[in-house]
Amino acid sequence: MLGIQRVLVRYGLDDIIKATHFLRPLKYLFYLFPRRVDRSAPLGERLRLALIELGPIFVKFGQAISTRRDLLPEDIADELAQLQDQVPAFPSEQALAILDSAYGTPASEVFSRLDGEPLAAASIAQVHAAALQDGTEVIVKVLRPGVRGLIERDLDVLYVIADLADRYWSQGKRLRPLEIVAEYEKTILDELDLMREGANSAQLKRNFEGSDLLYVPDVYWDYCRPEVLVQERIYGVPISDMATLRAANTNIQMLAENGVEIFFTQVFRHNFFHADMHPGNIFVQIEDPEHPKYAAVDFGIIGTLTPSDQQYLAGNFLAFFDRDYHKIAKLHLDSGWVPPDTRIDELESAIRSVCEPIFNKPLDEISFAQVLVRLFETARRFNMPIQPQLILLQKTLFNIEGLGRQLYPQLDLWKTAHPVLREWMNEQMGPQAMMESLRENLPQMRDAMRQLPSAIHNLAEQAQKGEFRVTLDAPELQDLQLQMRQQQAQRFKLGVAATATICGTLLLAFGPMEWLGWSFVGVGAIAFFTARPRT
């Protein structure tokens, strides 16, 4: 933490230390650290340089917040946007040495051309343009030297801070900082294996095979290694180059809406979503400007959800726009996101107080990401713990929405997302889904039926030998037998009550013996009364 403070002070960012809970006790050390950058330099520039010096994890944080131009001052957003693909590159000699070691032969024998100047440089790796021996144009992605050591160092710092928060911060138990860091550790370490990234890319390409929404470049597996990824080189306009897109008369509204549809399709239909979709990783192919197509790169971070999380998220989105606050509250309870003793009416009222003011705005001004944040803030008073498995999704939704609004400020996310969500929910709940589930479980059902005779035979043998007698005397089984006898008696009494009441009613309506009719009705009432379950 002293290292973090030293860098912040060096770049004149003292105010961050004063505002940060864990760094504030060390503020008296401000003046021991020399400043490298004059405080008169723009704040955005000083912040960008500080994040670069702090390391890859902090650069990724800067990349994430740079996509929300609707929430940041323009000058700071412009500076942080440079973190997407303009981090200082490492020397091409080091890249060549890594390639030579990976292939066990000089890179010049593998590639007919390898450009020394990188196309892009990011916090984890940098990308060089190259050509295979047959002339195929490719990109070669190479991990930064020593990046694993830097990330492990930063993770150690995060674990220390998380442990302090877990033990001494009043919100620590609810926010589950150690679990959040552990979830992030898996994500960031997976990103260091470029073979895994290649596999992610191949899966995403299959998911969008034949689609007009998204193009994913091919992977050249023969040339891939854990520290090297070789892919088809794609050409397109960077999504952030609005001037070029407008000059080509690109259909910007369709582009923004397609981006939202791609996201919701990945999350709900494919359950496999690109979770690092900042502008540096997204290009637009505008051969047909009226029908632009996205092209994505950098698949190191991929997110997935459990089926239950998918169900509850889709249900929450749909219920929100239907203003069904009771359903939102019930979904939070059913999913275990709030404690089981939470009063559903109180949670419903709290959710209503958050959502109703939002609906006074036009739909194109409603932010999905901010709604989620507000709902989670509201749930804090109900001791709702953080859901670490949803952090990637929240981050990605935050980025996608910011990018979409940057492209087309009038973007109506609900208009685009609603059909995808509704269709997916119908598929999950409809007859086709039930038949599919039955078909998938048929092998297990068949195996269980095959094993049933032998299981019954074994139980019979145990009973004959007296080995089953202990379980028959178990208190749980005795309670179950008592309940079954009570239910049987209750069904008998209800049958008597129904029969007597019907007979009595018929005698009163058609028979001359009125007294007998009332007697049957009385018997029916008594039988019905005694059949009621005792509490």
Do 421 and 441 lie in a common domain? no
Which residue has tokens 């000083």? 46
Give the pLDDT score at 140: 97
Give the pLDDT score at 19: 46
Give the pLDDT score at 389: 63
Give the pLDDT score at 22: 46
Give the pLDDT score at 535: 46
- Count up the domains in the chain and report the number: 5
The token duo for 288 is: 């047909």
Angle at 505 between CA 503 and CA 506, to 5 degrees: 65
Do 395 and 280 lie in a common domain? yes
Q: How far apart are the first and last CA of the chain?
A: 60
Asked if residue 406 belongs to a domain, the reply is yes
Do 255 and 398 lie in a common domain? yes
Give the pLDDT score at 472: 47
Domain containing 447 equals 432-465
Claim: this prediction has a pTM higher than 0.85: no
Highest mean pLDDT range out of 94-103, 327-336, 422-431? 94-103
Distance CA 184, CA 196 (A): 16
**Mean pLDDT calculated for residue range 511-520:** 68
**Stronger pLDDT, 41 or 174, i.e. the higher one:** 41
**Stronger pLDDT, 133 or 303, i.e. the higher one:** 133
What digits encode the pLDDT tens for the residues 8-30?
Answer: 677 666 655 454 444 444 444 44
Single-letter amino acid code for the residue at 210: G
Do 444 and 402 lie in a common domain? no
Asked if residue 55 belongs to a domain, the reply is yes
Do 263 and 157 lie in a common domain? no
Asked if residue 59 belongs to a domain, the reply is yes
Asked if residue 230 belongs to a domain, the reply is no
| Residues catalogued as catalytic | 276
**Spatial contact of 113 and 150, defined as CB atoms under 8 Å apart:** no
Do 396 and 378 lie in a common domain? yes
Do 276 and 422 lie in a common domain? yes
**Stronger pLDDT, 338 or 374, i.e. the higher one:** 338
Closest C-alpha among 370, 178, 407 to residue 277: 407
What digits encode the pLDDT tens for the residues 257-269?
Answer: 898 889 889 988 8
- Among 404, 428, 452, identify where a domain stops: 428
What digits encode the pLDDT tens for the residues 282-296?
Answer: 999 999 999 999 999
Do 438 and 420 lie in a common domain? no
Percent of the chain with pLDDT over 90: 24
Asked if residue 392 belongs to a domain, the reply is yes
Do 69 and 162 lie in a common domain? no
Single-letter amino acid code for the residue at 453: P
Name the average pLDDT for the chain: 77
Which residue has tokens 């073979």? 195
**Spatial contact of 495 and 502, defined as CB atoms under 8 Å apart:** no
* 155 pLDDT tier (thresholds 50, 70, 90): confident
**Stronger pLDDT, 298 or 436, i.e. the higher one:** 298
26-30, 99-103, 327-331 — which is least confidently predicted?
A: 26-30
Asked if residue 141 belongs to a domain, the reply is no
Asked if residue 277 belongs to a domain, the reply is yes
**Stronger pLDDT, 392 or 86, i.e. the higher one:** 392
**Stronger pLDDT, 302 or 66, i.e. the higher one:** 302
Do 300 and 423 lie in a common domain? yes
What digits encode the pLDDT tens for the residues 186-217?
Answer: 878 888 999 999 999 999 999 999 899 999 99
Asked if residue 397 belongs to a domain, the reply is yes
For helices 252-264 and 413-429, the axis angle rounded to 10 degrees is 30
Give the pLDDT score at 531: 61
Give the pLDDT score at 171: 60
Do 389 and 441 lie in a common domain? no
Backbone dihedral angles phi then psi of residue 283, each to the nearest 5 degrees: -125, 165
What digits encode the pLDDT tens for the residues 164-187?
Answer: 767 766 665 656 677 777 877 887
Which residue has tokens 């002339």? 135
What digits encode the pLDDT tens for the residues 344-368?
Answer: 898 889 888 877 877 666 656 667 6
| pLDDT reading at 460 higher than 60 | yes
